[in-house]
Amino acid sequence: MSTAIEERPPFPPFTRETAIQKIRAAEDGWNSCDPARVSLAYTVDSRWRNRAEIFSGRKEIVAFLTRKWAKELDYRLIKELWCFDNNRIAVRFAYEWHDDSGNWFRSYGNENWQFNERGLMDVRHASINDLPISDSERKYHWERLKPRPADHPSLSALGL
């Protein structure tokens, strides 16, 4: 662990603009499918609930994301602000992926985030549902492992 104080701007208390910046940074990180990179946005003892899994710590985050992206292939994610207050942000999201048999899914969910004063997330609760889709129903077609292009429609614009 680094002895330097870790920070991840923007910092709470959030405004609408800084909450959106925080969400887009998280979306870009997750779209990299790089577990180590993503884990750095969280405190070393961050607590997570993701579907039926409950765990804490960056080591566990990296292990979880490694398993996730080994199963959820060609992953592409869009996050959108739901609401915010002080050091908390609520997000809705949808991501598309396929399994190793080529079956496509769109996973919909909501996340509740809490941040410390240095802008690192110390609590993440995620509720997620998977919907099987056909290849022709896919809506996310930007280059894999890249951020969503700035001109790509939002979840609301896509009707999701």
CA-based angle 36:38:44, to the nearest 5? 75
Give tens-digit pLDDT for 63-90. Answer: 999 999 999 999 999 999 999 999 999 9
Give counts: helices (H), strands (E), the chain. 4, 6
Q: Answer yes or no: is pLDDT of 4 > 90.
A: no
Q: Tell me the pTM.
A: 0.94
- Domain over 16-158 is classified CATH 3.10.450.50: yes
Q: Report the pLDDT value the prediction gives residue 3, as an integer from 0 to 100.
A: 45
82 Cβ neighbours under 8 A, 6+ residues apart:
90, 91, 92, 110
Domain boundaries, given as residue ranges, for the chain: 16-158
- 8-31 per-position pLDDT tens digit: 999 999 999 999 999 999 999 999
